[in-house]
Chain A
Amino acid sequence: MGEELKLHGAWISPFVYRVIWALKLKGVPYEYIEEDLSNKSPLLLKYNPVHKKVPALVHAGKPICESMIIVEYIEETWPQYPLLPIDPYERAMARFWVKFAEEKGDAVWALFRTSGEEQEKAMKGTLEMLKTIEEHSPDAKKFFGGDKIGIVDIAFGAIGYWLGVVEELLGVALFEAHAFPRLHAWLKNFTEAPKIKENLPGRDELVVFVRSWRAERLLASQN
């Protein structure tokens, strides 16, 4: 397919990285456009008028929004390196865990922008989420997708990596190896997989960025 493919993203966004991973795993070339989230481009607002967010994938001029919807679109358009199983029941299971990641992952994102009581609540939510995945998700071989990375790995991978960032930022340990052995082993496999390792934002840079972002927000809310 020689049609133009563009990804509007931001280097700090876990949602954008889900899309990057899908494209990289499938070897699909694309143009990346970095958005300044404090000053969104008119193009982004045109492509995502409803949510005004990144990522927005634009394929031959047509925009697709919402990270996991974009990943399913990529899966259905470029069949190499399949991210979903073939069997309908297995597919339903994979989609179940993707939805779970989307809903419960909110607790992790809340950790970034909250403090005090709200943040305590988010920590609780994060631990509950981790516990459920550790107990109920199917046995990961190397990955949730089996021997190869699949859609569930992509959904959880963003949460796992960014959780590490917020733990460092806040000086807390939520995702402890002794409490979540399966998940810990899985995250190591995921972040060390070549196509993923080459496509991760620097953890230190993220911590620095989030630290100053939180400080700015705090200042703004006090004025």
Chain B
Amino acid sequence: MAKNDDVKVLGAWPSPFVMRARIALNLKSIDYEFLEETIGSKSQLLLQSNPVHKKVPVLIHGDKPICESLIIVQYIDEVWTSAPSILPSDPYDRAIQRFWAAYVDDKLFASMRQIKSLEGEEKKAMVEQATEGIVLLEEAFEKCSKGKPFFGGDRIGYLDIAFGSILGWLRATEKMGEVKLLDEAKTPRLVKWAGRFCADGAVKDCMPETDKLIELAKVLMAKMKGAPPKQ
């Protein structure tokens, strides 16, 4: 392959953001090299490729680094224009998917992450916040999918990738927190959608196992508790 066609993803297996880049590449049938970062340290390549945030994922195409998961997904869609399209073609539909993808990141994932370290009333409130958000996404799913299997229609699209990538951590949170977030009773369509998403060919090899995520979360939480107090 010519150097210009080299595609690398700097990532880490537990990260939903990294998953997004991989799913997008898989959808487009693009071969790539996955460079796994060691959890707890950052490689020189990562620091050079993402000096501003020093975070994964980074897509390295040829010699050009692209950062920020959803920006990477859009980049992939714009460079490799063969089907399937990841973003819809209509500007209004695109705006709606961007809106809900931002909601997933700014509101839903943020509240979900806190649940496992909360207790009592605080936990209850955060769980309620998260489930309300998922109910909103159920309504969005109805509107976006128009009766088809995914937010993107017949195939996985931008919002499927944005939301679906957090399912691993959602399930881990449900187990660890002993709560139900994705509820058959409240959000039946999304429960079915989640099953379809996780089983999709572009997804299943990069979706982390729930039990492995739980193991990791416990290790990280123990580390944080064991760390000496900051002065």
Contact = CB atoms under 8 A, between A and B. Distances in A.
Interface residues of A, number: 22
A136 B52 contact: yes
B91 A88 contact: no
Interface in A85-123: 88-89, 91-92, 95-96, 99-100
Contacts of A73: 91-92, 94-95
B67 interface: yes
Interface stretch (B27-35, B98-106, B147-155, B167-175): B98-106
Nearest to A88: B78
A72 B95 contact: yes
12 contacts: A62-B92, A64-B99, A66-B98, A69-B95, A69-B99, A72-B94, A89-B61, A91-B78, A92-B75, A95-B71, A95-B74, A96-B68
Contact of B52 (A50, A69, A132): A132
SS class, residues of chain A in contact with chain B: helix
**What is the size category of the interface that chain B forms with chain A?**
20 to 34
Contact of A99 (B61, B71, B94, B103): B71
Interface string B139-159: 000000000000000000000
B47 interface: no
A72 B61 CA distance: 24
Contact of A64 (B68, B72, B78, B95): B95
Nearest to B71: A95
B39 interface: no
A77 interface: yes
B64 interface: yes
B224 interface: no
A158 interface: no
Interface in B124-141: 136
Nearest to A97: B52
Interface string A67-79: 0011011001100
Contacts of A91: 74-75, 78
A49 to B, nearest CB: 9
